[in-house]
Amino acid sequence: MSDLSVQIFTQLITIPNLLIAVGSVFLGIIIGCIPGLTVTLGIILFVPLTYGMNTITAFIGLLGIYVGGCYGGSISAILINTPGTNSALATTLDGYPMAQAGRKNKALSISLFSSVLGGFLAALVLLLAAPPIAKVALKFRSPEYFSLAIFGMTVIAGVSNDNIVKGLMSAAVGLFISFLGLESLSGTLRYTFDTILLFAGVGLLPALIGFIALNQVIIKAVSYRVEMEQANAPVDNNLRDSSLSIKEMLRLIPTIIKSTIIAIIIGVMPGAGGDIASFVAYNEARRSSKHPERFGKGASEGVASAESANNAVVGSALIPLLTLGIPGDGVTAVLLGAFILHGLVPGPKLFTDQAVITYSIIIGLIFCNLILYVLGRLFTKQVAKVINLPYGVLGICIVIFCFAGAFANSGNINEMFLIVPIAILAYMMNLFGFSVVPTMLGLILGPILEENFTRSMIVSDGKLSVFFTEPISCGILIFSVVFTYLVMRMNKKMAISH
């Protein structure tokens, strides 16, 4: 273990890693505080820039954006009652009333302290809990991996709200796209329509860019004229009131710890995400408060519970991703794609075959949370001014980065041609109420499903019963059904409470 620690230390503690961590967290704060941009979009745009970096540096940068973005979303939520990220929606309930009461700096300080402490504690849990889970998962074979991929598809229930049918249809689109091109085991061409563009299938990065990044640009461009006056309206970002005192920090710690525990439990469940975790934590803080009547009117505990929860999800959502290769939400689905693009396969073997890289990434997440506190203290006031930047300028920059990133990925201009029809498809799906997150999950998990299903059929002589006669595989499938039902019920309750 000492040799491993030395290797982790020498690989992790470098000037490039430190610079990337600082820069990415700062960039994440900016991305998170701008309504219309998302953490997912920021990570997608950053992925092409990581090809010249070593793996540890690349993922420290990606996680830095994730961490910074979760806090950045609270800035606009508090100042203009518009969450920069979905997970910051619960923060508006008490953050904006605090700002209206002249306590903007106080609210932002609570958000920063809660975000950092919640994220730090969840990262520690990830460091301690992931290795034992990975050891158990090392016993998995093809049937178990197929069942795990099915379990990964239960994320659909969490991102489809109360319309699971549309979620399944959206996932089917992603599965179909994943089957384009050469079949992995036999080399057979499928669904290419005699178009050379599809012989190699659809690359993961062009798909991510088209379905999420350009899709968001199109959506914002269509509504830009309607929102232009509001988007360009100046916001008073002067933070004149006092910051958070040590006494107030200590008073909020029990709420933060309880909310973090709730978020860790919810975060490891595929499909739950930071938005659900923050609302559940907020409701629990209000339920257990001695003064529940203060919630919704500027309660400090309301901001603390919501922000500690949505940042704690960052670490907890990485537990199923790193140990089982199962993404917990849209952001970790993109991170799964980034792992694959860097030649790594998330799963239990990461902790044995790539132990130095894996532990360095986890410890790097802890460092990113500490860096977030420093940067938040120094630059929140300056970053808040970015809210006034017109989206017209941002949209053009995003489009340029999208196409440049696609070309930088492989140097293949064909991938750039694929982005446009994918973006159009994504926008059409959005018009008809179909989320593209299930599509991305289908696209990413499709090859895993197909490959392990084929191998399972080969070793069992074509018997489907192999997935039910293997105890672990059968247990995972049963849990997938039960879990999908529970998440659907949770979504309906959340919709009613909204």
pLDDT digits (tens, 9 = 90+) for 95-113: 888 888 888 888 888 989 9
| 36, two tokens | 């219309």
For residue 392, is it left (φ>0), alpha (ψ between -120 and 50) or beta?
A: alpha
Q: What is the mean pLDDT of residues 27-39?
A: 79
**What letter represents residue 341's amino acid?**
L
> What is the pLDDT of the chain when averaged over all its residues?
79
Average pLDDT over every residue of 207-228 = 71
Largest interatomic CA distance in the chain: 72
pLDDT category at 387 given cuts 50, 70, 90 is low
What percent of the chain is helix, strand and coil (3-state, nearest 5)?
A: 80, 0, 20
Which two three-digit tokens encode residue 98? 């605090």
Q: Angle 104-137/55-80 helices, nearest 10 degrees?
A: 140
- Give the pair of three-digit tokens for residue 60: 């420290």
DSSP 101: T
What are 240-288's pLDDT values in tens digits? Answer: 656 677 888 888 899 999 999 988 887 776 555 666 677 778 878 887 7
- In angstroms, rounded to a whole number, what is the distance separating the alpha carbons of residues 388 and 269? 36
Q: Which long-range contacts (CB under 8 A, 24 or more apart) does 333-337 make?
A: 333/155, 333/437, 333/440, 333/441, 333/444, 334/40, 334/43, 334/44, 334/47, 334/208, 334/212, 334/440, 335/43, 335/59, 335/62, 335/66, 336/444, 337/47, 337/204, 337/205, 337/208, 337/440, 337/444
Q: Please choose, from the candidates 279, 310, 308, 309, the residue with its C-alpha nearest in 3D space to the C-alpha of residue 295.
A: 279
Strand partners, 35: 37
What is d(CA 264, CA 317) in angstroms, rounded to the nearest whole number? 8
Q: Are 268 and 125 in contact (CB under 8 A)?
A: no
The string over 179-210, giving b where at least 16 C-beta atoms fall within 10 Å of a residue's C-beta and e elsewhere, is bbbeeeeeeeeeeeeeeebbeebbbbbbbbbb
Q: How many helices (H) and strands (E) are present in the chain, helices listed first?
A: 22, 2
pLDDT, tens digit (0-9, with 9 covering 90-100), for 290-316: 877 788 778 888 888 888 988 888 888
Left (φ > 0), alpha (ψ -120 to 50) or beta: where does 179 sit?
alpha
What pLDDT, in 10s, does the model give residues 50-66?
Answer: 877 888 999 999 999 99
Q: For the whole model, what pTM was predicted?
A: 0.71
Which pLDDT band, with edges at 50, 70 and 90, does 403 fall under? Answer: confident
Q: Quickly count: other Cβ atoms within 10 Å of residue 460's Cβ.
A: 16
Closest to 296 (Cα-Cα) out of 103, 97, 108, 100: 97
- 285, containing H or E segment: helix 273-288
Between CA 176 and CA 343, with CA 350 as vertex, the angle to 5 degrees is 50
pLDDT band at 354 (very low <50, low <70, confident <90, very high): confident
**What's the gap between Cα 50 and its chain centre?**
18
Q: What is the pLDDT of residue 367?
A: 92
CA distance 446 to 457: 16
Residue 43 has pLDDT above 80, yes or no: yes
Q: Please determine, for residue 444, whether its predicted confidence score (pLDDT) is greater than 70.
A: yes
Cα dihedral sign for 53, 56, 57, 58?
positive
CA nearest neighbour of 123 among 12, 267, 273, 269: 267
